[in-house]
Amino acid sequence: MEYRQLGNTGIKVSAITFGSWAIGGWMWGGTEREDALDAIWASYDNGVTTIDTAPIYGQGLSEEIVGEAIRDLPRDKMQLLTKFGMRWNVAKGDFAFKSKDNAGNPIDIYKYTGKESIIKECEDSLRRLGTDYIDLYQIHWPDITTPVAETMEALSQLLKQGKIRAAGVCNYSAQLMAEAETTLSLASNQVPYSMVERTIEEELVPYCIQHNKAIIAYSPLQRGLLTGKIKPDHVFAQGDHRPTTEFFKPENIRRVDNFLDKLRPLARSKNALISQLVIRWTIEQPGITIALVGARDKDQAMQNARAINVQLSNDEIRFIDGELKKLELLEDSVPA
């Protein structure tokens, strides 16, 4: 495994990080707890020391599973990343959307980052994770109802108390990062990035490189689309959110699959899976510190971790980039 510094902190993180959204089950058609535990342990055995989770993933379930998984692992050798600011059934802040929990009960999701709420969320996350500190605490989404300074002041307080080691943001623009920096020094920004979702390259990547901020790339496999396993006739489990998104329109699945066909000979020459080739390409991109990859069982986890062994030459990266330029998804497929 490769370990990289998290921005301007002294924290080292694994370049491939375990993403824990799917194991929470919420919006992924449920979860199998034992499979999730095995996936985390298999990741750790293959050098993945960093785990990213959030309270909203299963309304606390993902954090609880992570807490159970790390109970007998050396805490000082691991980095726990979690988030705050996505509240359910609180009727505060910026209403986001209606959803259902894993039991099928309706819930309302709000983006809320008031100071007292953040302090409470941190205590709840520490309890679920079974730890007395969080390595990186991140605002999940911008909250238009709370001043950025108030949110950052809460993080400053948690830093002083030793309950978090570093503070980061998710889904922030470069402009919002600059505003936050007037109150607090940020370690990172967690944002969507993949071969087919490269919006951040225009402004955010240059900003983060210039200011030494880590970029945590989530959905580098575009929620499974870039694994090569999903075909236009794929049947998703009930409750899986992916069929409702633009990337998973059958025509886009077909176009991406045709693109991946161009990469298969390169993957075979390296005795690698398509997904491993994609993960390695991601962490080779300028400014990208971490590729955050989910896994629901130990086989997926081991495959993801072993992507670190794939080596890409400059010519091979140029070949992949050339094929990407030919890929055209439906016009409304890639969000701005």
Catalytic amino acids? 57
CB contact set of 14 (below 8 Å; sequence gap of 6+)? 1, 2, 3, 47, 48, 49, 50, 79, 290
Tell me which residue has tokens 């805490």.
75
Could you tell me which of 268, 256, 260, 270 has the C-alpha nearest to residue 308? 270
Distance of CA 114 to the CA centre of its chain: 23
Q: Which amino acid is at 12?
A: K
Task: Please calculate the CA angle 112-137-80 and round it to the nearest 5 degrees.
Answer: 135
Spell out the SS3 assignment of the chain. CCEEECCCCCCEEECEEEECCHHHCCCECCCCHHHHHHHHHHHHHCCCCEEECCCCCCCCHHHHHHHHHCCCCCHHHCEEEEEECEEECCCCCEEEEEEECCCCCEEEEEECCCHHHHHHHHHHHHHHHCCCCECEEEECCCCCCCCHHHHHHHHHHHHHHCCECCEEEECCCHHHHHHHHCCCCCCEEEEECECCECHHHCCHHHHHHHHCCEEEEECCCHHHHHHCCCCCCCCCCCCECHHHCHHHCHHHHHHHHHHHHHHHHHHHHCCCCHHHHHHHHHHCCCCEEEEEEECCCHHHHHHHHHHHHCCCCHHHHHHHHHHHHHCCCCCCCCCC
CB distance 174 to 203 below 8 Å:
yes
